[in-house]
Every structure is written in C-alpha cells, then in structure tokens.
Amino acid sequence: MRPKSGTLSPEDRALNHQISKVRIRVENVVCKLKKFCVCSEFYRNSTRRHGLFWGCVASLTNLRTLTGPG
C-alpha cells in the first residue's frame, strides 16, 4: 500500500511487482476455468461425479497453462 507521501521504497515496489505477477497468473487460471462453464452454470449431473468432473477440468486447465499461452 502506498504511503501518504505518494512514493514507495524500492523494496515495496519489488514486493508489489511480485504480488501482481502472482495475481495475474491466478486470474488467468480462473478465467480459463470459467471458459469450461464450471463456475458459471448449475451442475446438473450426479453429485457423486462432481469431484471427478472438477478434477478433469482442473487437469485440462493445468495442462493448458503449463504448455503455453492460450
């Protein structure tokens, strides 16, 4: 968080940069999960298979994230 004086120390700037890099990565993964409509729609299948479904979607998202952009 920026102090009232309006300037950050170099250490604080570096910390903010690292936090923003992680935040962007997480936001991109959540966006990819939403493209599978897992988060945005009601799950209509058997509740026993819900964990399996999430595992498959998470695995595909991880594979897509590790193999490159897109």
pTM to 2 decimals? 0.61
Pair of tokens at residue 6: 């309006």
C-alpha to C-alpha distance for 43 and 56, rounded to whole angstroms: 15
pLDDT single digits (tens) 8-63: 888 988 999 999 999 998 898 888 888 777 666 777 777 788 788 888 888 888 88
Return d(Cα 41, Cα 66) in angstroms, integer: 26
